[in-house]
Amino acid sequence: MHRDAVMAAGLQALLAPCGEFTLTVHTSHPQGQAGAQVVVADYDTGLALARQMPQDRFGHAPRVLIVTQLDKEWEVRTAMDCGVHGYLLQGCSADELVRAVRQLGQGLRYLSEAVTRCVADSLSRESLTGRETDVLRLLAKGCCNKSIARELGIGVGTVKTHVKGLMSKLDATARTHAVVVATQRGLIDAGRRSTTPFLGGARAAPPVQGAGRQATMQ
């Protein structure tokens, strides 16, 4: 269920030769999701699907594999927190794609090596609180302490406390430095616009038939 038509075609072409998967493309076979063991999706669609899936690990809901170019700490952690089972970067090899789909089909999880390093690195750092993140986002917009206090409905002194806390956690020497560090780590939006999950669209190529487990793409 990948919203990018070129990516969907590429994923289909890479998985089809294996012969161990029954592949369906959502645009031409939308009911395929119901019987799929693995759903291969773009980031936004993958998150939307994972949030809808029952969290029972022994259930029969499809397991979600995201294939994306988004590699920031916050993006990866958000996907994991939403219940995504696999995360691959678009630069992965064909062998790794097949391995990821196979492992999810067996009820396991799969993270690419780069994503694994990202998650491991993030776990070694102290996380920002929700309020510190709110303050950080307003700092990124150039807001002063008074403006932040007014926007969040808190006192200026409280804002100063949050700023001090987030700067310490980000090891930043100044407010602008904190914004730069947070952007590099993907803790705040650096301009990526959220899109509506792609659950429909123009008719795609017919499904490729194989044998064994099912994977559905769009």
Distance CA 7, CA 91 (A): 11
The mean of the pLDDT values for the chain is: 81
- Tell me, what's the pLDDT at 189? 67
Mean pLDDT, range 76-86, rounded to an integer: 87
At residue 68, the pLDDT reads 94
Packing angle, helices 73-82 and 43-52, rounded to 10: 30
Q: What pLDDT is attached to residue 211?
A: 39
Q: Are 133 and 188 in contact (CB under 8 A)?
A: yes
Interval 74-85 mean pLDDT: 86
Q: What is the mean pLDDT of residues 22-44?
A: 85
Is 195's pLDDT higher than 70? Answer: no
pLDDT above 50: residue 209 = no
| 97, pLDDT greater than 70 | yes
Contacts of 196 (CB under 8 A, 6+ apart): 44
Q: What's the rounded Cα separation, in Å, for the pair 102 and 79?
A: 20
Task: Indicate if the pLDDT at residue 100 is higher than 90.
Answer: yes
Structure tokens at 177: 């430095």
Tens digit of pLDDT for each residue in 143-184?
Answer: 999 999 999 999 999 999 999 999 998 888 999 999 988 887
Beta bridge partners of 160: none
pLDDT band per the 50, 70, 90 thresholds, residue 26? confident
What's the confidence (pLDDT) of residue 27? 74
Q: What is the mean pLDDT of residues 75-89?
A: 88
**What is d(CA 135, CA 98) in angstroms, rounded to the nearest whole number?**
42
pLDDT tens figures, 107-131: 999 998 888 876 766 665 677 888 9
User: Coil, helix or strand for 110?
Assistant: strand
- The Cα 37–Cα 58 span in angstroms is 12
191 pLDDT exceeds 60? no
Check residue 207 and give its pLDDT. Answer: 38
Mean pLDDT for 26-35 is: 76
- When pLDDT is averaged across residues 20-43 and rounded to a whole number, the result is 84
Task: Sketch out the chain's domains with CATH numbers.
Answer: 5-123+193-217 (3.40.50.2300), 130-185 (1.10.10.10)
Predicted pLDDT at 30:
75
Tell me the three-class secondary structure of 20-73, residue by residue.
CEEEEECCCCCCHHHHCCEEEECHHHHHHHHHHCCCCCCCCCCEEEEEECCCCH
Sign of CA dihedral 84, 86, 92, 94: negative
SS3 82: helix
